[in-house]
Structure 1
Amino acid sequence: MTHIFLYSLLLILPVSILLVRRMRSGRRLPPGTLGLPIIGQSLQLLRAMRANTAEKWLEERAKKHGPISKLSLFGKPTVFIYGRAANKFVFSSDSNVLTNHQTQSVRRILGDRCLLELCGEDHKRVRDALVSFLKPESLKLYVGKMDEQVNRHLQMHWKDKDMVKVLPLMKTLTFNIICSLLFGLETGARRDQFICHFQQMIAGMWSIPINLPFTRFNGSLKASAKVRKMLKELIQEKRFELEQKGASSHQDLITCLLSVRGEEDNEELISEDEIIHNAMLIMVAGHDTSSVLITFIVRLLANNPSIYEAVLKEQEEVALSMSSEGLLTWEDLSKMKFTWRVAMETMRMFPPIFGGFRQTAKDIEYGGYLIPKGWQIFWVMAKTHMDSSTFQEPEKFDPSRFENQATLPPYCFIPFGGGPRICPGYEFAKIETLVTIHRLVTHFTWKLCCKDDSFSRDPMPAPTQGLPIQLIPKKPL
């Protein structure tokens, strides 16, 4: 316990000195308290997320302190802000004001060379490299391959089943798609080992960063090291295939990143660490966010028969116009407009990402308060997604809200972020979702088996018991 006390003392002393200096200068910090050293309000937030009361916890905080307040999360002094103006501030500020800087737990697990950490020219360089593979012009070539993955998954895990649990199966599906399309890693013992280490790694993403035996954080760090080792070996294999066997530079994401070269010296522009750290980031983003979105669409379709029928009608029309090969194409996806509005409304009500962090690059003034250099900014999606001044009857599931997105105020709907930092995997997630929903609704109807309609966040939302459903097959797979 002595070393924990010393660590706490070392952490709180600089903060205390900074607070005293600010008070003497007359510049006002936001209201609120920082709480206990290291821990702060972290446990309160995590408990509220797991009980699905985090929005209520933040609402009570806002009623007490207003739209701007200070607290301490995951070992750092933090300022909580919300609203459209706050979203615009977070997503449009340049790196001279706010920097990408995640919590210590996320940074140590994913690495400091991923997009969540990079700023300025480094961010642009790595993001441009990722977009070269994830842009629509490139991804349209992979729609059929993704459809094959979904069909194979349904054959293995859904066919002839009376009941399935949706969330764990969707996590299996999305991870398999990532392994195949992004990493070129096919089924087998290696992929099974990969997913085992990966699941251990993500368990401690949002945790108090105290590296002691048997803690979540400790387990995640160990698993992270194993994932990095496996990715390093994979990169070496891809580099050999590219240089010695003439492999296509767009056969998968890793090969694509290895192929990005400088114009003058022809050297690799993306370092090995950057490939590893961003591969880990994409694994987390693509695995969790898409699987959660598809799971909640399944839940909402079960609870809204008229919406299910409308989605089914659209998807049956797509099926009639499909090519003779029987696989979906980019043109087929462009016809799924209503289905994607259903997905957007699902993300509005149940955003897979609860919120995120930035760090101040200098002392800044915001909303009449001082936010000191080096403090975290904590923003939350649900506070704008459920704002009744923007979305009438926000508790009502209504896909028609997105018939004309141009009428929505900027920065009110941010499931994929906004501005120059919008998620580069947006189109990949869209394809993944539309292909999966097409196959599900054209082959099955379903009923919810669990009367408990609640869910928890850890930090992603997860329905009770993984959303068990009773399957009623419609036509053979």
Structure 2
Amino acid sequence: MATIILILLFLSSLPLFYLLTKQKPSNKKLPPGSFGFPVIGQSLSFLRALRANNGHQWLEQKVRKFGPVLKLSLFGRPTIFLAGPAANKLVFGNDAFTPHQLTSFTRIMGRRTMREMVGDDHRQIRAAVGQFLKPEVLKMYVNKIDEEVRYHIKMNWTGHQTVTVMPLIKCLTFDVICSLVFGLDRGHTRQALAKEFVDVIAGMWSIPVNLPFTRFNKSLRASRRARRILSEVIQEKRRKLEHGLCPPHADLITCLLSLSQEGCGNEALTEEEIVDNTIFVMVAGHDTTAILITFMIRQLEKDPAIYARVAQEQEEIAQSKAPGEALTWDDLNKMKYTWRVALETLRMIPPVFWSFRKVLKDVEFNGYLIPEGWQVLRTTSMTQMNAEIFPEPHKFDPTRFENQSSVPPYSFIAFGGGSRICPANEFARIETLTAMYYIVAQFRWKLSGKDDSFSRYPLPSPSEGLPIKLEPKGDM
């Protein structure tokens, strides 16, 4: 296995040597730094740090040595690392930087997602998805999210003495996405899609070797099967729309299908674009929100005072409602402190700790050259864990977000920024608050695992999935 990894790293490093040899002489200087070991660069060291949850310290050490703009080599490509609010503004606001994913991620997800597109193509797809995810539309779906959460709690939490949080919450977020994004009720199609989705996710960050029995190959095959399922769903929804059997905003798929029919001058999206972007929304919404809810549950157990304030807020809402009455948009807007807890969780444990951008043309920043063809690494922690921006950054303090306008621009970037800011942040807010309402108002809990640590690779995950012992408060 070690030999295979070294061979793959050698092959993946060829773009590094190509870019370095073809680079034209320039009066502008490259940032300080080191490309590390031949072939492997700093890739293995970086991955080890992420798995040990030391990624921030690993990057801080390099910034202390070379400064907030530095060069290194990661995953076979020459890389510029940028730190600080000004750097975040540059990356999010400059069209010369476009998102760049690992090959395995792009191959499995699809090449026509709004994350991969640039220019007018990106704007069209983003606007189409944004039509469904804007608050005035999402208001109509609060009841459906409430129904999915209540069913999940009844089937998986109520009557259980212990549960393992992360896998359960991932099941919940998948069911919510199936309901709202695909318009799929519980049944055979949702079950079939869930089965394929597990394998799709498993290979997203795998080594992209398409040989039988590799994780990447298994994930590619699952992706093809999931696409066939979604194609059938799309054809059925297109038929219903044409015959007036469903409204144009019944779910994300019908919204995308009907976009070009509303007289807005929009071009019709291809089926590939609809499939790629529904899979993208499914993957993005599934993991990120599940991570947030899981780590909120973890934090509330560790801090009884914060749990008490969240519980009081949720119980006051519960007492104002009739038995069995669903949450409303107004109820969610009353959960101000709970959402501050969510934002502080995102500050300390963002679902996406790091990401890459590809440089489309030469850019100058702070007197240094960021060359065309290189990649830029950005992380959330360099501002969100910066003591000059957030005093006592390792202290969990939801009051930081009582006045969000006081947070310096491009410092809290858990949802991204600029034209690439996450379009689903309001959807995440609704789903998170609804889940926390039913969990906190019905249960107290204690952590029951032997290992409370977590890894950040590829995404934050408690080492044991966060097992907890439940103590029911009583029926709502």
- Please state which band the TM-score falls in when normalised by the shorter chain: over 0.9
- The yes-or-no answer on 1:214 pairing with 2:213 is yes
Q: CA deviation at 1:119?
A: 1.4
Q: Is the partner of 1:445 in helix, strand or coil? A: strand
Distance 2:45 2:219 in 1: 21
CA RMSD of the aligned region, Å?
2.5
- The yes-or-no answer on 1:457 pairing with 2:456 is yes
Equivalent residues of 1:354, 1:459 under 8 A apart: no
Distance 1:82 1:165 in 2: 36
Q: Which residue of 2 aligns with 1:84?
A: 85
Q: CA deviation at 1:101?
A: 3.0
Change (3 A) 1:265 1:405: closer
Distance 2:311 2:14 in 1: 60
2:260 maps to a residue whose letter is R
Q: CA deviation at 1:112?
A: 1.4
Q: Which residue of 1 aligns with 2:101?
A: 102
Change (3 A) 1:451 1:325: closer
1:400 maps to a residue whose letter is T
Q: Is the partner of 1:140 in helix, strand or coil? A: helix
Q: CA deviation at 1:77?
A: 2.5
Change (3 A) 1:214 1:74: farther
Which segment drifts farther, 79-88 or 173-182? 79-88
Change (3 A) 1:280 1:268: same
Distance 2:29 2:435 in 1: 51
Equivalent residues of 2:134, 2:426 under 8 A apart: yes
- Identical positions, percent: 53
Q: Is the partner of 1:191 in helix, strand or coil? A: helix
Q: Is the partner of 1:261 in helix, strand or coil? A: helix
Q: CA deviation at 1:296?
A: 0.5
Distance 1:266 1:29 in 2: 45
Q: Which runs of 5+ in 2 are unaligned?
A: none
Q: Which runs of 5+ in 1 are unaligned?
A: none
Equivalent residues of 1:351, 1:415 under 8 A apart: yes
Distance 1:77 1:433 in 2: 38
Q: Which residue of 2 aligns with 1:348?
A: 347
Instruction: Give matches, 1:122-137, under 5 Å.
Output: 122-137=121-136
Instruction: Give matches, 1:158-177, under 5 Å.
Output: 158-177=157-176
Which segment drifts farther, 111-120 or 219-228? 219-228
Equivalent residues of 1:104, 1:209 under 8 A apart: yes
Alpha-carbon displacement from aligned partner over 1:61-93 (angstroms, at most 9, x marks no partner): 323332222233334322221211111111111
Alpha-carbon displacement from aligned partner over 1:228-260 (angstroms, at most 9, x marks no partner): 222122111111111135311111110110001
Q: Which residue of 2 aligns with 1:305?
A: 304
Change (3 A) 1:10 1:438: closer
Equivalent residues of 1:99, 1:359 under 8 A apart: yes
Q: Is the partner of 2:260 in helix, strand or coil? A: coil
Change (3 A) 1:15 1:472: closer
Distance 1:444 1:187 in 2: 26
Distance 1:291 1:59 in 2: 28
- The yes-or-no answer on 1:156 pairing with 2:155 is yes
- The yes-or-no answer on 1:16 pairing with 2:17 is yes
Q: Is the partner of 2:475 in helix, strand or coil? A: coil
Distance 1:265 1:308 in 2: 47
- The yes-or-no answer on 1:186 pairing with 2:185 is yes
Distance 1:430 1:126 in 2: 22
Q: Which residue of 2 aligns with 1:326?
A: 325
Alpha-carbon displacement from aligned partner over 1:25-52 (angstroms, at most 9, x marks no partner): 4543232206454x54333323322221
Aligned residue-pair number: 474
Q: Which residue of 2 aligns with 1:64?
A: 65
TM-score by length of 1: 0.93
Change (3 A) 1:120 1:431: same
Q: Is the partner of 1:458 in helix, strand or coil? A: coil
Distance 1:25 1:307 in 2: 55
Alpha-carbon displacement from aligned partner over 1:362-411 (angstroms, at most 9, x marks no partner): 11222322222121111000121110001111111100000001111001
Equivalent residues of 1:42, 1:208 under 8 A apart: no
Q: Which residue of 1 aligns with 2:337?
A: 338
Q: CA deviation at 1:128?
A: 1.0
Distance 1:100 1:13 in 2: 21
Q: CA deviation at 1:469?
A: 0.6
Q: Which residue of 1 aligns with 2:139?
A: 140
Distance 2:4 2:309 in 1: 60
Change (3 A) 1:24 1:139: closer
Distance 1:434 1:3 in 2: 45
Q: Which residue of 2 aligns with 1:117?
A: 116
Q: Is the partner of 1:247 in helix, strand or coil? A: coil
Instruction: Give matches, 1:406-417, under 5 Å.
Output: 406-417=405-416
Q: Is the partner of 2:53 in helix, strand or coil? A: coil
1:373 maps to a residue whose letter is E
Change (3 A) 1:205 1:334: same
- The yes-or-no answer on 1:261 pairing with 2:263 is no
- The yes-or-no answer on 1:74 pairing with 2:86 is no
